[in-house]
Structure 1
Amino acid sequence: MMKKIIFALLVLVATSASAQNGITNDFRFGQGEDSLRCIETITIVNVNLNNKDYATAYTAWKTIFNEFPVARVDTYTNGVKLLNELIKKESDPAKKSEYVKELMNVYDQQIKYLDKLQEITKSKLSAGNILGKKALSYIQYYNNAPVDTIYSMLAKSVEMEKGQSEYAVTERFMKYSALKYKQDKSHGEQIIEDYLNASIYIVEVLDKYHASIERSEKKYQEEGNPRDSLNAIGYGKMIDASRISKSNIDAYFINSGAASCEDLSKIYAPTLEANKDNIEYLNKVLSVMSMLKCTNEDTYLTAAEYALAIEPTAKAAMGCGYRYYKKGEIDRALEFFDQAIELETSITTKAELCYKVGLIHFSLNNYGKARAYANKALGFNNKYGQPHILIAQCYGAANKWSEDDVMNACTYYLCLDRLDRAKAVDPSSKREADKLIAIYSKHTPKVEDLFMRGYEAGRSVKIGGWINETTKIR
């Protein structure tokens, strides 16, 4: 059977006696006897990889890697897998070091022959993505590598891939930018630029996964294929991981001490007037300062007005909203906030803007409107925990719907429902949710008081008034 398979594959390749490796011609398996040897060796690699006989697979793989570098795309994915396994099992430091060097060479050679490899795969590869993977491996195996070396690899990868970068690459890029700033304070302006780009790109990654999960869930509902349901679960996990990366990106920048709100104002204020017609520059100022919560700074507010005069954008509208909010003109501020939500194109950012507007209404004791905006945020991103927490806080702050205080205390069951939901959909909200759960749990009704009113654990109870929701006695 194996001979028949090999013969069938040989029909696809040339039978000339001249040995070639596909670099200078179209014979990627080689020619003549070389083509037979190539295909037999590929079979040895695959069989032994499946059997986890990595030593035997490695010997055969090296032949393909060195002599037939464009025979198959999986020469490179197999190489990464093999070498990682060999590195993990190797106890001799010298041999381990050689395997690590060889692993780096796998990434380099894959990039070198990328154009040829692109011709034989439907899944298009990119040099930036491969370089990002190399950087992650470099970090893993070279503990004392110079920060500059790693930063340069990551920066080049992220510059090439932008919003298509893997979330782990974007996160490490920000980490090493912060480490570089720690060593070299002249990196100050660049770390701000890096933070701006990393923040934009990680949101694009989140948007991509949100769109993917939505497609998979819709397809599952229409066709009932379990694979689509599993895909949706997988994308959900990617969203959770990407959200953690997003938080880490913020933390790396903030903890670097590279720029306080005052520092940013000192950097941008002197150049603002000269750039008042430069929408790209103004949007950059708005993005960086809003990410660092510097929205009360005059520099930010002025940049927002300049930007809105040129082009209505979400960033500019949000900035003008903050300006009017600071002046106490709340209704005018809310108009701009609504405009910002309408103009924003990223569903992740739309959800965050809705949540922020909900917080403003909460601070004004407009609990019904706060809940409405929180629910609007969940409509854009149902994996977002903060809106659930906000709704719980609204219920906890305005729980007087009955003349019976015991029934009013049942409102706290709804608070707990929302907080449990926040933790379930968004692990990053767990700490805050748990703190509130500890508080609200102390205010739920006593068992004997509920019993006197005909209620027991597990029974549903309708919370009236503006809340108008049903919960269960716990």
Structure 2
Amino acid sequence: MKTRLSIVTVVLLLSSLFTVKAQTVESKYGLDSVQTILNASLYVEMVKQKNYAEALQGWRYVYNNAPAFQKSTYSNGIKIMRGMLRKTQNPKYIDTLMMVYDQRIKYFGKDRRYPKGYILGRKGGDLFSYKRKNIPAVKEAYGILKKSIEMRGLKSEAKVIANTMEASKILVQNKEIEPEEVIDNYLLFMDMAAKKKEIEKNPKKLQNIENARLNVEQIFFQAGVADCETLSNIFTPKFEANKDDLTLINKILRMLNRQECEDGALYAKVAERKYQLEPNADAAHNLAKMFIKKKDFTKSKNYLSKSIELEQNTDIKADLHFKLATIQLMQNQYSAAKSNALKAISERPNWGQPYILIGKAYAAYSKKYGTKPIEHLAVYWVAVDKFIKAKNIDPECSEEARGLINTYSKYFPRKEDAFFEGIKNGDTYKVGGWINESTKVRLTE
């Protein structure tokens, strides 16, 4: 009671300093500056104490009679409505909460820090959270969230994106929206995550972006529109009706590639049509992936080579060379595999996987090199050299590299066998032929 009286006294003293001219609801202090300041001071104290029921009367006066007074009228109003909803479970507070967001947009929607799009994201999120079992309400929330993302773009909050994806999952499962709309949302949000990761430098924020991306991916899979059969059912009739629509073709290929549906009939038709309409590196790569899935390695290598010729992006080119090298290694084309792995390294120097591939090619060729047992085993020295190189330059493949080092080091020549060849620990040894590497002798007991 003492606190309440002291607040009233201070407010009355302060209010005497104001000269009020033509006060209206639209003016900052509303119809009565004294009452506005008095009620604001009282309800704010109640909010601090989380006494939302006591805060309600004073807050309601400011909200109704001085809506342009303070931005905090609305942030506090949200706290009050949420608190009252928890306490009473009365859905009327959800409706009032929505009104609070709407009035905030009316009076403070041009705020630079928290503009209209931001407020819509929060409004849609609350409506979805409190009424997620009510399909019409979910649909309304979904529309609000989509509008927020449209206005905010890459500034959209992760929670807004997750809520939008979750709402679209519920709606498609209740046949309120088409599966393609869920797919479009998924592709949009994946693109947004990729762009945000490109420009973000803060490690913590980068991890938050990745967590949000994984969350969206999980929700998408739960929606039931991501399996190859469903995608084929959705997109086959659309493709057959629009075979010259490159936007549609690219969307279909992106989705089928993401879900690894390259071995289906739809992928074959769409990939071949893309190459006819736009014979670029991406189109050739799509066909290569299709033939890899079909285990037609001759055609896959042909299209990978075409893709490499047409590709301008060095990072993508590195991946293409590595893919080609991988197929060549599978077909025991060791020298060609090494050549393409080296080209991958030239495009992306600190990548460890091509070194691992070269090491595997050496190890696989070991029995064919030379005529003596020690010559066969000496190849493991240069193979392990490549695994060590991979471990040292690329943390992402260090675990695999360590495992390979441990495995193949066991096959190093023994001291007693090397003795008869005049080879000692630490000597320089040359492995010739297409391998053409010098290494250091390492002998086992």
**SS of residue in 1 equivalent to 2:299:** coil
Within a 5 Å distance, the mapping from 1:458-473 to structure 2 comes to none
Normalised TM-score (structure 1): 0.60
Partner of 2:21: 15
Within a 5 Å distance, the mapping from 1:74-153 to structure 2 comes to 74-81=72-79, 83-84=81-82, 86=83, 95-98=87-90, 101-102=92-93, 105-119=96-110, 121-123=111-113, 125-127=115-117, 129-138=118-127, 140-141=129-130, 145-147=133-135, 149-153=137-141
Partner of 2:29: 29
Q: Do 1:282 and 1:307's aligned partners in 2 also have CA atoms closer than 8 Å? A: yes
Check 1:179–1:44 CA distance in 2 against 1; reply closer, same or farther (3 A cut): same
**Residue type at the aligned position of 2:50:** Y
Give the deviation of 1:153 after TM superposition: 1.8
Check 1:358–1:263 CA distance in 2 against 1; reply closer, same or farther (3 A cut): same
Deviates more, 1:406-415 or 1:285-294: 406-415
CA distance in 2, matches of 1:5, 1:212: 50
Q: Aligned to 2:213, which of 243, 246, 268?
A: 243
Partner of 1:200: 188
What per-residue deviation string (whole Å, max 9, x for no partner) do you get for residues 355-392 of structure 1?
A: 5774554344346755875997899xxxxxxx77x569
Give the deviation of 1:408 after TM superposition: 6.0
Partner of 1:68: 66
Give the deviation of 1:207 after TM superposition: 0.8
Q: Do 1:42 and 1:61's aligned partners in 2 also have CA atoms closer than 8 Å? A: yes
Aligned-CA RMSD value: 5.1
Structure 1 gaps, min length 5: 88-92, 214-231, 343-349, 380-386, 423-432, 455-463, 469-474
The number of equivalent residue pairs is 382
Q: Do 1:195 and 1:249's aligned partners in 2 also have CA atoms closer than 8 Å? A: no
Q: Are 2:311 and 1:328 aligned? A: no
Q: Are 2:263 and 1:296 aligned? A: yes
Q: Do 1:413 and 1:444's aligned partners in 2 also have CA atoms closer than 8 Å? A: no
Q: Are 2:248 and 1:281 aligned? A: yes
Give the deviation of 1:97 after TM superposition: 1.4
**Residue type at the aligned position of 1:15:** K
Partner of 2:432: none
Within a 5 Å distance, the mapping from 1:114-263 to structure 2 comes to 114-119=105-110, 121-123=111-113, 125-127=115-117, 129-138=118-127, 140-141=129-130, 145-147=133-135, 149-158=137-146, 161-162=149-150, 163-164=153-154, 165-182=156-173, 184=174, 190-213=178-201, 232-253=202-223, 256=224, 258=225, 260-263=227-230
Check 1:438–1:412 CA distance in 2 against 1; reply closer, same or farther (3 A cut): closer
Structure 2 gaps, min length 5: 1-9, 330-336, 367-376, 414-423, 427-434, 440-445
CA distance in 2, matches of 1:147, 1:7: 49
Give the deviation of 1:445 after TM superposition: 6.6
- Structure having greater relative contact order (Cα 8 Å, sep ≥ 6): 1
CA distance in 1, matches of 2:341, 2:92: 56
What per-residue deviation string (whole Å, max 9, x for no partner) do you get for residues 268-318 of structure 1?
A: 344535412323332332233223222333433433444455567886454
**SS of residue in 2 equivalent to 1:328:** helix
**Residue type at the aligned position of 2:306:** E
Check 1:64–1:291 CA distance in 2 against 1; reply closer, same or farther (3 A cut): farther
* Percent of residue pairs identical: 16
Normalised TM-score (structure 2): 0.63
CA distance in 2, matches of 1:190, 1:207: 27
Partner of 1:217: none
Q: Do 2:275 and 2:284's aligned partners in 1 also have CA atoms closer than 8 Å? A: yes
Q: Do 1:358 and 1:373's aligned partners in 2 also have CA atoms closer than 8 Å? A: yes
